[in-house]
Amino acid sequence: MRIGVLISGRGSNLQSLIKAQLEGRLSAEIVMVISNVPNAEGLKKAVSSKIPHQVINHNEFANAKEFDDALHKALTSAGAELICLAGFMRILGDGFIAKWPNRIINVHPSLLPSFKGLHTHERALEAGVCFTGCTIHFVRPSVDEGPIILQAVVPTFPDDTAEKLANRVLQQEHVIYPLS
């Protein structure tokens, strides 16, 4: 399975996939990394691992469809068969998703279907949940919806901050994404 990884920032989930590949724990090959954000930290991880990478900056396109078309072209040119969203903070259009049926997966920092969207850890702590976690799921046109592949449960503690909780959840993201 040839994988294209889409990122927007730090790229720690990308790093966990690269590490799994290097250690022979990923039954797949990362053939392309694309960032929509120029100079995203995560690109350095592709560079140091000699993985083909490119920036496709959404700001340089007239509309979302043209951006999606550029992503599609780059991914198909690289021979990608599966797309892994790893902290990719753009919403893909229905047309794009239809071209990759059950071929796009995402990591989300909550136990879906709870806490879709942004600021998941702040909202989990505000709600007072005892457990939160992370989810790997197939991507569907509705944001943060789609069949769940794997989840990891993470406890919350009375003295938690969103930052502490985010770090604890992120460690589990790094465990379950390569397993998916």
17 binds ligand GAR (CB under 6 A): no
Candidates 107, 111, 139, 165: give the one binding ligand GAR (CB under 6 A). Answer: 107
Locate 32 and state its tokens: 């392309």
With CB atoms as reference, the residue minimizing the distance to ligand GAR is 87
108 catalytic per annotation: yes
Out of 2, 9, 19, 90, which residue is the one contacting ligand GAR (CB under 6 A)?
9
Toward ligand GAR, which CB reaches closer, 31 or 92? 92
* Residue 108 contacts ligand GAR per CB under 6 A: yes
Pull the structure tokens for residue 174. Answer: 């790094």
Residue given tokens 């990884």 in the structure block = 5
The answer to whether residue 146 forms part of the interface with ligand GAR (CB under 6 A) is no
Which residue in the list 53, 72, 108, 174 is annotated as catalytic? 108
- Residues near ligand GAR (CB under 6 A) are 7, 9-13, 42, 86-87, 107-109, 170, 173
The set of catalytic residues is: 108
